Amino acid sequence: MERQHVDVLVIGAGISGISAARHVLRDNPRATLVVLERRARVGGTWDLFRYPGIRSDSDMSTFGFGFHPWRGARILADGQEIRGYVEDAAADAGILERTRFGRRAVSADFSHATGRWTVEVEDEHTGAHESYSAGYLVGATGYYDYDEPYRPEFPGEANYRGTLVHPQQWPEDLDHTGKRVVVIGSGATAITLLPAMADKAAHITMLQRSPTYVLALPEVDPVTSVLQKLHAPARLTHKIARTRNIALQRGSYAFCRKYPRLARRILLGLVRARAGKGVDMRHFSPHYKPWDQRLCVVPGGDLFKVLRSGKASVATDHIDTFTADGIRLKSGQELKADIVVTATGLNVRLLGGMALTVEGRPVDVTNRVLYKAVMLEGVPNMSLVIGYTNASWTLKADLAADYTARLLAHMRRHGHDIATPVATDADRSEFSVMGEALTSGYIARADRAMPRQGTRDPWRLWNNYYRDRAMLQDAPIEDGPLRFDTVGPSGTEHAADAPTSTRVA
């Protein structure tokens, strides 16, 4: 089987992959680069999810790329708009022609002797196998399992005669017109589905075990709208909105963590003002502190509008059992349902399930720490793009992509073939990079699948844009923990002598 060699191989053509490819090509214009994508189009998550009303849960001035201005004035955008935006960015950067669609990366192995990765790939359309070698590998698949969502089994669900659907596997032909709908969940997906389905449904109920903090935002950014009416340059408008919203995100998060009681009073007060007297506040009064779980945002207060209209309702209770025509709750209340949507969350899987080895030895990602939140200890020539959980994903993806591009340019200028972060046991904590962050369901499940949290810089993940920007964009590339090697005629010079550099598990 013929093996194609490229300088850089990017796995994934969603937001992270397109950002990585664009930054690498900006700083390394002569580099050969290929993007592998399982799906038939770019967009990643935004091509996968097709449920009604799917939209961003972060403002588009920060969720959009720093290098490709978001030109709309709406604060949140729907999934189709976002996918189109990602495709436009990929086309403008010349990435579409470098992307191989329908390809699933099966395994990747690094050899110090050659300073290259060997990546085995399956063409999921034909079943054919392909092989690539690459000097540098970028894992840009996010951390969702695209094949299997998180779907707990509920008592008695085999007796249910209606339609049961998970948002990740939404049928294109599902018609909810005139149907009674129950959405199980209280996160961003459930809160999006309620107003999106309420107009056509006979009635829709959000069934939650516990409430979530909800914040209503304007549908349109007033500052951006004014600047657009004044015909300000798109890049200037984008920069102003992005700079302001990064500060607002960081400031509001820090305020909530430092003053949780005051933040709770403010958030619940805003809900009361939006929801009106007819909404029971116990459905919107969480038992945890603000930002222990991700805050849910609703554009224009659309959730509260459908609740006030009577087309939708919220039930806070536990499921006793499914019945033939709905769900009976622990309280004894019965919810009749023609359609039940299990908005129960997502499973976590790094690198799209690709097997990762160094010199043939498996890499246990869950026992490694991240260097500068981008590279895995002991794994040479690889970046792993993981976005923020407490701010817009893309902010971190852009920083990781920029750092990767700078690293590759530095290696080229100085004649380095291999870059390996080397940690000690003292750098590694018992928590994962998610373990000390948020407490929502998928975050808790991610704790069992993600790298460890570091105990100190540059191994500690801070989830702080300003701190990360200084570390990834401004700090020198060469430091103690990042070791550089060259490949000579007889193999690697200054070869990995520290056991952590290629350590197993």
For each successive 10 residues of the chain (505 residues), what is the average pLDDT? 91 98 97 97 94 94 95 92 97 97 98 97 95 98 89 94 96 96 96 96 97 94 92 92 95 96 96 88 94 91 94 97 97 97 91 96 94 97 93 96 98 97 93 68 71 94 95 93 86 43 35
Give the model's pLDDT for residue 430.
86
Give the model's pLDDT for residue 279.
83
* CATH number of this structure's domain 157-342, picked from the four choices 3.30.460.30, 3.50.50.60, 1.20.1250.20, 3.40.50.720: 3.50.50.60
Provide the residue type at 43 as one letter. Answer: G
d(CA 362, CA 249): 38
* CATH number of this structure's domain 3-147+347-501, picked from the four choices 3.50.50.60, 3.40.50.300, 3.40.190.290, 3.40.50.10860: 3.50.50.60
- Is the pTM above the cut of 0.75? yes
Neighbouring CB atoms inside 10 A of 111's CB total 17
**Strand (E) or helix (H) holding 196:** helix 188-198
If you compute the radius of gyration of the chain from its CA atoms, what whole number of angstroms results?
A: 24
Decide: 287 and 210 in contact? Cβ < 8 Å: yes
141: left (phi over 0), alpha (psi -120 to 50) or beta: alpha
Give the model's pLDDT for residue 120.
98
Beta bridge partners of residue 335, listed in sequence order: 327
Strands 180-184 and 339-342, sheet pairing? parallel
Decide: 112 and 76 in contact? Cβ < 8 Å: no
> Helix 260-275 crosses helix 302-309 at what angle (to 10 degrees)?
50
Give the model's pLDDT for residue 501.
35
Domain boundaries along the sequence of the chain: 3-147+347-501, 157-342
Decide: 340 and 160 in contact? Cβ < 8 Å: yes
**Strand (E) or helix (H) holding 22:** helix 15-27
Give the model's pLDDT for residue 389.
86
d(CA 419, CA 83): 34
